[in-house]
Structure 1
Amino acid sequence: MSTSSPKNLRIALLLADTPNPYVLAEEGTYLDVFRAHLLDSLANMGRKDDVDLEITGFDIVGKQEFPEDRGFEKGGFDAVMITGSAHCSYDDVKNPWIPKTLAFIRKIASEYPHVRIIGTCFGMQLLVRAYGGEVVKNPLGWEIGTYEMNLTPIGSKLLSSSSSSSTTPSSTISIQQMHADYAPALPSEGEWELLARTEKTEVQGLVSFYGEAEGEGEEKGKVHILGWEGHPEFTQSIVDKIIRFRSDSGVFTPSMASEATERAARAHDGRGRIGAMMLKVMLGEL
C-alpha cells in the first residue's frame, strides 16, 4: 500500500441514457455502474487506496446539461467519459442533443487538451462522428455478450503496459458487447490509431495520442482520446438483464437471446486490463 496521499481523479461522466428497469432496480444508474467499474478496476490493480475517485454525472439527454468551462481549468476535471446508450448515435433529428455533444467533445479536446476523453460503445461512436467519421447499422448484425477482439500492435502494447501481472504482449482481449451499429472506419479528421477488431466490427477500439502542439510537455506521446465499441463497464449480470428486457420487448428473438446469454457468461477483461488501461489514461500514466 502506498504511504503517500491518494491521487485525485475527477471525472465528468456524460450520461447518454437511463438503464432499463431491470438494470436500474438492481445495478443502479449508469453513474453507479461506471463508479463500480472503476473502483473494481482499481482494486484489481491493487491501487484502490492510491486514487481518490470523484465522478460527477451530467444528463445530456433529458436535461441536456454539460459541465461548465470553468470545471475544466487546472485542478478541475481530469477526464470526460461518455456512456453507452440505446439511442441511435447518427439520428440527429430524433436526438437533437447529439450535435451539442459532438461540439462539446471537440471543444474540450481543443480548448482543454490536458483533459482525457473516453467513450464506450455509443460514446465511442460519438467520438467517431465528432471527428468526421461515419456510424451506420452493421450489416452483419448484433454483437451481444463477450467477444474476443484481435488486437493491433498498438492495442497490444497499450494493454500490456496496463497489466500489473504481465508485460507480455497479447494478440487478443475479450469484452462485453451490446451493439448493432458500428463505425466502418476510423475518423477522417485528426490522427487516429486502431486498437482492436472483430470479424463483425472493424473498429472495436481507437486512440488518439497527444502530438507536438497538444497539452503539456510530459503529455507528448500519451493517450488523449480513447474509445471502445464494447462495454468494459458491463458485467454478466448487467448484460443478462439487458437481454431479458430486450427479449421481453421483442427486440431480441429467442435464438439471439440464447446465444447472447451463453456469450455473456464468458470471461472478459472489462475490469482487468481494459479497466486498468482506461484508469492509467485518465491518471496521465499512459
Structure 2
Amino acid sequence: MVAIISNAAAAKKSRQFALLMAARDSEYVLKRYGGYRNVFVAAFGDAGSGETWDLYRAVDGELPAQEDLEKYDGFVISGSPNDAYADDEWILRLCRLIRDLHARRKRVLGICFGHQVICRALGGRVAKSSTGWDIGIREVAVANLSLPRQCGFLEALRDQLPPRAKITEIHQDEVWEVPAGAEVLASSAKTGVEMFRVGEHLLGIQGHPEYTNDILVSLVNRLLGAGTISVSVAEAVKKQLDATGPDREFWLKLCKSFLKADESYSI
C-alpha cells in the first residue's frame, strides 16, 4: 500500500503547464517580481506540489513544438498590449496553435488578450470597445448556470459561485461575439462577455485575476506617461483602489479549479 501511495504522489507531482506570454516583461514587473512568469506561477501555481511551468514567449514567436503538446496538462495565454484581431505572424501562429489544442481537448485558459485570441481563433468576433478603455476594478455578474452533471469543474463549483464578483480590468478591446458552441459565463455593465467557456477545456476571462494592485498602478502610470489616458482617468483608478479591490481569491481558485479539474478547490 505504501508503494502505491508513493507512486500516485509521484504521478501527481509530474503535472506540467505552459505559459504562453503575449507581452514582454515591463521594467517594473522585472524589478519587483522577476518577470510575468513569476506573477502567473504565484497566482495559478501550487507551491510544493512539484508541478512545473514552462515559459514560451509567444510575442517573440516562441511556441511549444507539436511533439511537446501532449506532455502539458494545461496552457495559459497572457494579456498583451497587442490587438487579438491583428494579423501579425505570431498572432496567426498562436491562433493555429489554439485550434490544435482545441482539437486535442487540451485545457487552455486565456486572460484578457488570451481570452480574446481564443475567441478569434475559433471563429468569434473581437473588436475595440465602443465605449473606450475599461480600467480599474469592475463588478461582473456570474451567469446562472444550469449545467448537466457531466460538466466537470463548473458543475463542481456551481453551488459555490457568487452572483457577482469584482475583478481587475485594463483593456480597450473586447469579445463582441463568442464562437459557435461557446457559453457566456459572466458579463458586466461595460463588457458583454467577461468570461466564456467552450466545453470543459477552454476558458476565457477578460479581466486579470493574476494582477496585484501595484501592477495595475504601474500599468496606469505607463499609459498616463505615454499620453494614452488622461490624468483624471489615472487618478480615478488610484482613488478606486484606495476604496476597494478585486475578489482575487475567488478568481484564483476558479482558475486553478479549471486548470487542475481533478483536484478540489473550494470557493
The normalised TM-score by structure 1 is 0.80
Question: What code does the residue aligned with 2:68 have?
Answer: G
Tell me the equivalent position of 1:58. Answer: 56
Report which structure shows greater RCO (CA 8 Å, sep ≥6).
1
Measure the CA separation in 2 of the matches of 1:97 and 1:169: 36
Question: What code does the residue aligned with 1:102 have?
Answer: C
- After superposition, what is the alpha-carbon deviation per residue over 1:7-63, rounded to whole angstroms, capped at 9, x for unaligned? 233111111011322233213322111011124xx4xxxxx54x322110111122x
Measure the CA separation in 1 of the matches of 2:169 and 2:255: 17
| Structure with the higher helix share, 1 or 2 | 2
Q: CA deviation at 1:183?
A: 0.9
Moved over 6 A (4+): 155-160
Gaps of 5+ in 2: none
Question: What code does the residue aligned with 1:181 have?
Answer: D
Percent of residue pairs bearing the same amino acid type: 27
Alignment root-mean-square deviation, CA: 2.4
Measure the CA separation in 2 of the matches of 1:243 and 1:83: 18
Residues 193/144 of structure 1: CA separation in 2 closer, same or farther (3 Å cut): same
2:89 is the counterpart of 1:96? yes
Alignment of 1:144-223 (within 5 A): 144-154=135-145, 161-162=156-157, 167-187=159-179, 189=180, 191-209=181-199, 223=200
Question: What code does the residue aligned with 1:5 have?
Answer: A
Secondary structure of residue in 1 paired with 2:40: helix
Aligned positions, number? 251
Question: What code does the residue aligned with 1:104 have?
Answer: L
Residues 148/159 of structure 1: CA separation in 2 closer, same or farther (3 Å cut): farther
Gaps of 5+ in 1: 43-47, 210-222
Secondary structure of residue in 2 paired with 1:177: strand
Tell me the equivalent position of 1:45. Answer: none
Q: CA deviation at 1:127?
A: 0.5
2:85 is the counterpart of 1:108? no
Question: What code does the residue aligned with 2:246 have?
Answer: H
Alignment of 1:252-263 (within 5 A): 252-263=229-240
Secondary structure of residue in 1 paired with 2:51: strand
Secondary structure of residue in 2 paired with 1:199: coil
The normalised TM-score by structure 2 is 0.86
